[in-house]
Amino acid sequence: MGGPAAADCFRYCEDLVRRGDKDRFLASLFAPEDNRKHLFALYAFNIEVARIRDVVSDALPGEMRLQWWRDALAGCGHGEVGRHPVAAALIETLDRCDLSCQPFHDLIEARTFDIYDDPMPTVADLEAYVRATSSQPMAVATEILGVRGCNWTTAMVDHGGIAYAITGLLRAMPFHAARGQIFLPDEIFTRHGVDREDVFAANDTPELRAALADVRALAWHHLDQAGSCIRDICRQAVPAVLPIALVRPYLKTMDRPGYQPFTEKCVVPQWRRQLTLWNAARTATRSC
């Protein structure tokens, strides 16, 4: 690995995940130490790509940054890649863990949506987006942990990743709306007569509340589907799927009567998140 030392690159990823994705950071602490650094590389890559919208002035430089990651995965520009700690750690992780590049390309392609202000047309479009940006990275994490070919784990990752990501988009709706973007499906907003301009203006209307309840119901549905697999998943995969356990407390917070979606942050205290993860870590018992 050129550029910074390998250990420094992985430490950089760990620090980035600790600061930028606390839920996955806490879940990763349940993984064997040898696997942990590779999980941090995966999650750091996810953070880097997800925050492109936040660091560019318009779509063109955003497209250029996404293309840089495509080139990095394709093995182009190795000198520059070697000087980027996240890219360098990711490339080593791909090699050491024998990972396919396709899920990473799928994630990059899906994240193209982020750099524009286009609406999310349908529920199916939303599910496809979060499957690429949440479920597939979770599946890669299970491979890093040595789990391949477990149908129960695959099903849990698919539904659980969708539930986790939709819940995250609900929590982040005020932030996204403030920058003129809505990730929730127009199909549901139209059904309830929601005016997009009300969302951008942070107007908490009855129509919007009804639409958000429908989106939460979609997340609950996928969470229930994931929960039906929990006792049959491979025990080795548990650190990868642990973030799913946090969906329930987040959704219950937003389901409370009187919850204010624009002014009330959906936050679960860290001590409670850690306790939830610890309890969930003891659930799966099947070895692969």
CATH of the domain at 180: 1.10.600.10
The interaxial angle of helices 206-227 and 247-255, nearest 10 deg, is 150
Q: What parts of the chain have a pLDDT lower than 50? A: 1-2
Looking at residue 229, what is its pLDDT?
86
- Domain's final residue, options 98, 116, 134: 116
| Residues 222 and 85 grouped into a single domain | no
With respect to residue 272, please indicate whether it lies within any of the assigned structural domains: no
Range of the domain at 28: 1-116
- Domain's final residue, options 116, 143, 159: 116
Cα–Cα distance, 110 to 250 (Å, whole number): 24
Domain count, the chain: 2
| Residues 96 and 20 grouped into a single domain | yes
Looking at residue 251, what is its pLDDT?
97
Looking at residue 1, what is its pLDDT?
43
With respect to residue 286, please indicate whether it lies within any of the assigned structural domains: no
Looking at residue 286, what is its pLDDT?
60
Query: 166 phi and psi, to 5 degrees?
Result: -60, -40
Q: How many CB atoms lie within 10 A of CB 76?
A: 12
- Token pair 């070697």 is found at 82
Looking at residue 2, what is its pLDDT?
46
Looking at residue 82, what is its pLDDT?
66
- Domain's final residue, options 79, 97, 116: 116
What is the maximal distance between C-alpha atoms in the chain?
Answer: 56
With respect to residue 279, please indicate whether it lies within any of the assigned structural domains: no
| Residues 101 and 128 grouped into a single domain | no
- Helix (H/G/I), strand (E/B), else coil: 286: strand
Looking at residue 41, what is its pLDDT?
98
